[in-house]
Chains A and B, each alone.
Chain A
């Protein structure tokens, strides 16, 4: 399962609303395309791409911004990170952001799930600029 676990809690916004606000902030920084998702459309319907000179650094920055106020956990020495946000209403799913240092494409990836009536779920691959 990995070489260790850890975590922390940043007090303040910890609900789905907080993640929505973080996503709005990230949109101003990274830009958006279809559905208001961060980055540019990727090959699959659920995948977006952000091209950058330093994919790992940019992916970390995106996770750090999106995870503000969430319950943050990590494992595999920080190669996988998870931030959870409490549901707005009882019985609803949590909202979540994950960071994966190495994704299926070999690049870092961030997954975002925002619950609620305007919710969405998608993945961002961070690719090196050519």
Chain B
């Protein structure tokens, strides 16, 4: 069986872990509209600014070449000044402490003619649990580089919608889906 692992790498997990315990200032993006969607979002904290973005990579595990989006994390405040000038900086839940960060990791499995054939594992959302709510940054499509941010007054790893995808059941191929919410700290410990 083919396994495709499109998950955040350890340096990206470490960057996320580095802002746990610090305060959220804002989220921003030079082109981030008020419905908080695009292909990159800056998370500004009182420690550092992280850039979370999505891009596509090509795979052929389905029997044909297709693009699949992936989340990336880096330390960067490029575009923050422009975002601030354009009014594309949003201060919801500003000043709240980032208590914990979870990854929402989805696994899609395919059986072809009844045989397990491939398994695609990818991170679909990053959920920041805040002292007064939560911020989720998530992929809205498995195949397109579209991400969005949303705030809630409650913690809500269980409420993150599944991304749209091009996975389609056919007469000989069936897909199944599984979801895990995993604290960043747990992932880092497991990788040690």
Q: Which residues of A contact B (CB under 8 A)?
A: 1, 5-7, 9, 43-46, 71, 73, 75, 82, 84, 86-87, 91, 93-94, 96, 98, 103-105, 111, 113, 115, 121-123
Q: Which residues does chain B contribute within 8 Å of A73, judged by CB atoms? A: 31, 38-39
Tell me which residues across on chain B come within 8 A of A98, comparing CB atoms: 144-146
- Whether A96 and B146, one on each chain, are in contact in the complex, defined by CB atoms closer than 8 angstroms, is yes
Indicate if B134 sits at the interface (CB-CB under 8 A): no
* B165 proximity list for chain A (CB < 8 A): 121
Q: Which residues of B contact A (CB under 8 A)?
A: 30-31, 33, 35, 37-39, 53, 55, 58, 64-67, 79, 140-141, 143-146, 148, 150, 161, 164-166, 168, 170
Looking at the complex, which one of B65, B66, B146 makes contact with A94 (CB distance below 8 Å)? B146
In whole angstroms, what is the CA distance A105 to B66 when docked?
9
The binding surface of chain B is classed by DSSP as loop
Distance A96 CA – B69 CA, assembled complex (angstroms): 14
Cα A103 to Cα B58 in complex, Å, equals: 10
- Shortest A19–chain B CB gap in Å is 13
Q: Find the A residue at minimum CB distance from B138.
A: A93
Contacts of B148 in A (CB 8 A): 93-94
For B37, give the chain A residue with the smallest CB separation: A94
Contact of B39 among A82, A86, A111, A121 (CB under 8 A): A82
**B141 engages A96 (CB within 8 Å):** yes
B141 and A121 within 8 A (CB): yes
Shortest Cβ distance from residue A14 to the other chain B in the assembled complex, whole angstroms = 8
A121 touches B38 (CB 8 A): no
